[in-house]
């Protein structure tokens, strides 16, 4: 126990510094990180990094609390956290797919647990950067700058990697490090007000902030994301309104009006698209969104209060499709309505939608305290406004969620008044010295609890590593099937499913092993396909049901008894997705034979 006082000294002296470094890694790393060796090179590594960061920082912060450090700063985001987490927890309790809804659809991760982890990031950021919100602003601007730079590289055709368009190496799709140009545009819209704000408040590094602001603007243009452009303009207008209000008091109101106009314009275009979908002036992407929004409304009508559960839209959308969307996309049904408010409405009902909107109402209430001199807080407010604007056209992608809770944390941290008197650097040195003298003679408090927290942190790191490894095995299994090594592929899939029983993995594995069984006329592979697809008994995934039906239909040419099994699967798929003409025709061909 001789080292116990040293542990306590480290926790109280160095703990906050370590926490800030780890959290900045999360803030910068989540939007920037991608791994080329993964089946999902974007969101799986992002979720793994965020999980590891929360595990390390959360347990470190609790260990500090056991030594006497106050948890008061952590509570400053309780209202928005409760507004988001409360309805999602209730919706999860009423969900028919509780296990699946914990993480949500593979690659989207809009389940309960990722939302709780992102909220935890917000709590930890407020606590760690209280009085240091400028550091947090620089962190998210650096992340935005990298996203912008890589998007520009892709736009000019200099990307060394091939992404979603393998037949066109010189693609002008600026997917950047988020995997989608709209996601990249939305994130850049959030970071632009922060970059402009730093140019206004950080005199020592103003030139750098100006250069990064220009880079982010160029990245926004390269993204070709109208939602991102609207978000960046609305957020920056909010900031400029505060900056100009010292001379023109009405400027602050004009900035707010600009944000409202941006939202109103997006809603007006969406409403017009729903009413006049055949107008040639309406872009195809808006037509699709209008249909998806109608489907979210249909789904919410069946569970108007608590919704169908986190990310349930990805599971049950087949039953709510509108005819033109089903005709246009057939089996490529949407896994999200592409509107965050409507996503909350479908997932958590009216309670969820009210909770989502309440977050921004709470922000507006807090913003009434801001003065013309509170430019850094206004910059964070601009980032919040930007997220809100782009949310009406976007999926709540993981990096965008981290962006929201980062700017929320920065906004709240910047509202805490700075202590006057002793200069900050001298005061910190004095406080650190006095703390060191005080804790040298005090033993570590609750050593067993501290040790238990270390175990929890290790478990979090192990889980995040396992998530990456399972994704790698998923990719490796698909590659082995493609190279005609089914037994080795099966081992990889089994190991991946042993860590995380993911339905998309089951779908891929079940179809591939069944297709191999048909090709080799090997009944053991067909039996394995049946076992893997057994989850479909309680899971209305039409795409997987159709693929399972195709396997059984082909197998019936070898084993006639499988024909009835194929017919039952097609009957179920036909009933679930009544608007899909391709499915109806395929099912009719099977059932009429």
pLDDT above 70 (res 538) = yes
Question: Between residues 279 and 176, which one has the greater pLDDT?
Answer: 176
Q: What's the confidence (pLDDT) of residue 302?
A: 94
Mean pLDDT value across residues 518-541: 94
Residue 174's pLDDT band (cuts 50, 70, 90): confident
Mean pLDDT value across residues 238-262: 81
Q: What's the confidence (pLDDT) of residue 277?
A: 67
Q: What's the confidence (pLDDT) of residue 249?
A: 76
pLDDT above 90 (res 12) = no
Q: What's the confidence (pLDDT) of residue 195?
A: 97
489-525 pLDDT per residue, tens? 999 999 999 998 889 999 999 999 999 999 999 999 9
395-442 pLDDT per residue, tens? 999 999 999 999 999 999 998 765 444 444 444 444 444 444 444 547
Rounded to the nearest integer, the mean pLDDT of the chain is 89
Residue 496 near residue 470 (C-beta atoms within 8 A): yes
Residue 70's pLDDT band (cuts 50, 70, 90): confident
Q: What's the confidence (pLDDT) of residue 511?
A: 96
pLDDT above 50 (res 36) = yes
Least confident of 26-35, 117-126, 582-591: 582-591
CA 398 to each of CA 122, 138, 180, 297: distance values in angstroms, whole numbers, following the listed order: 13, 20, 12, 23
Q: What's the confidence (pLDDT) of residue 307?
A: 95
Residue 379's pLDDT band (cuts 50, 70, 90): very high
pLDDT above 70 (res 172) = no
pLDDT above 50 (res 169) = no
Mean pLDDT value across residues 270-276: 72
Mean pLDDT value across residues 117-128: 96
Contacts of 5 (CB under 8 A, 6+ apart): 439, 440, 441, 442, 443, 444
Mean pLDDT value across residues 249-272: 76
Centre a 10 Å sphere on the Cβ of residue 15 and count the other Cβ atoms it contains.
20
Residue 280's pLDDT band (cuts 50, 70, 90): low
Contacts of 9 (CB under 8 A, 6+ apart): 436, 439, 440
Element (H, E) at 375: helix 375-391
Nearest one of 196, 198, 243, 200 to 373, comparing CA atoms:
243
Question: Between residues 590 and 488, which one has the greater pLDDT?
Answer: 488
3-state secondary structure of 336: coil
Degrees, nearest 5: CA angle 169-289-255 = 95
Residue 445's pLDDT band (cuts 50, 70, 90): confident
Q: What's the confidence (pLDDT) of residue 351?
A: 97
Q: What's the confidence (pLDDT) of residue 168?
A: 47
Centre a 10 Å sphere on the Cβ of residue 221 and count the other Cβ atoms it contains.
19
CA 122 to each of CA 79, 108, 348, 361, 549: distance values in angstroms, whole numbers, following the listed order: 12, 20, 21, 18, 45
Q: What's the confidence (pLDDT) of residue 52?
A: 97
3-state secondary structure of 203: coil
């Amino acid at each position: 126990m001789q080292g116990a006082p040293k542990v306590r000294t480290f926790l109280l002296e160095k703990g906050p510094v370590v926490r800030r470094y780890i959290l900045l890694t999360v803030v910068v790393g989540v939007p920037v990180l991608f791994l080329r060796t993964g089946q999902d090179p974007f969101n799986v590594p992002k979720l793994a990094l965020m999980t590891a960061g929360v595990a390390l920082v959360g347990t470190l912060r609790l260990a500090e609390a056991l030594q006497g450090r106050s948890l008061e700063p952590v509570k400053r985001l309780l209202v928005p956290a409760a507004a988001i987490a409360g309805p999602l927890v209730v919706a999860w309790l009423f969900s028919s797919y509780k296990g699946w809804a914990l993480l949500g659809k593979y690659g989207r991760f809009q389940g309960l647990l990722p939302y709780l982890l992102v909220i935890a990031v917000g709590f930890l950021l407020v606590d760690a950067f209280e009085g240091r919100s400028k550091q947090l602003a620089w962190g998210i601007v650096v992340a935005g700058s990298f996203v912008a730079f890589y998007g520009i590289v892709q736009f000019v055709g200099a990307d060394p990697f091939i992404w979603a368009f393998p037949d066109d190496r010189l693609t002008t799709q600026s997917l950047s490090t988020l995997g989608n140009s709209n996601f990249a545009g939305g994130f850049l819209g959030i970071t632009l007000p922060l970059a402009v704000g730093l140019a206004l408040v950080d005199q020592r590094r103003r030139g750098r902030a100006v250069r990064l602001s220009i880079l982010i603007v160029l990245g926004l243009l390269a993204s070709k994301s109208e939602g991102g452009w609207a978000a960046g303009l609305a957020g920056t207008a909010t900031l400029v309104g505060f900056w100009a209000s010292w001379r023109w008091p009405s400027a602050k109101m004009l900035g707010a009006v600009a944000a409202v106009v941006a939202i109103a314009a997006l809603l007006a275009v969406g409403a017009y698209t729903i009413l006049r979908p055949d107008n040639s002036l309406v872009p195809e992407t808006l037509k699709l969104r209008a249909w998806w929004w109608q489907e979210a409304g249909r789904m919410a009508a069946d569970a108007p209060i608590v919704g169908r559960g986190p990310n349930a839209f990805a599971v049950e959308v087949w039953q709510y499709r509108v005819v033109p969307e089903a005709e246009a996309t057939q089996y490529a049904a949407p896994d999200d309505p592409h509107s965050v408010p409507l996503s909350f409405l479908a997932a958590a009902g009216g309670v969820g939608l009210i909770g989502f909107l309440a977050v921004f109402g709470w922000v507006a209430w807090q913003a009434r305290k801001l003065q013309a001199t509170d430019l850094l807080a206004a910059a964070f407010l601009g980032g919040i406004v930007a997220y809100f604007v782009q949310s009406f056209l976007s999926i709540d992608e993981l990096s965008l969620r981290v962006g929201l809770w980062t700017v929320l944390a920065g906004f709240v941290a910047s509202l805490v008044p700075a202590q006057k008197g002793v200069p900050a650097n001298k005061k910190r040195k004095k406080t650190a010295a006095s703390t060191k003298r005080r804790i040298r003679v005090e033993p570590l408090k609750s050593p067993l609890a501290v040790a238990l927290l270390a175990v929890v942190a290790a478990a979090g790191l192990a889980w995040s590593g396992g998530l990456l490894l399972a994704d790698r095995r998923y990719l490796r299994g698909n590659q082995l099937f493609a190279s005609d090594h089914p037994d080795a592929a099966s081992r990889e899939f089994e190991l991946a499913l042993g860590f995380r029983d993911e339905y998309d993995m089951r779908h891929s594995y079940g179809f591939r092993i069944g297709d191999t069984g048909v090709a080799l006329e090997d009944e053991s592979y067909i039996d394995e396909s049946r076992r893997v697809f057994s989850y479909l008994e309680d899971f209305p995934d039409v795409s997987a049901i159709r693929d399972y039906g195709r396997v059984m239909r082909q197998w019936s040419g070898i084993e006639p008894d499988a024909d009835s099994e194929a017919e039952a699967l097609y009957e179920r798929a036909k009933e679930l997705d009544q608007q899909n003409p391709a499915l109806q025709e395929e099912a009719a061909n099977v059932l009429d034979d």
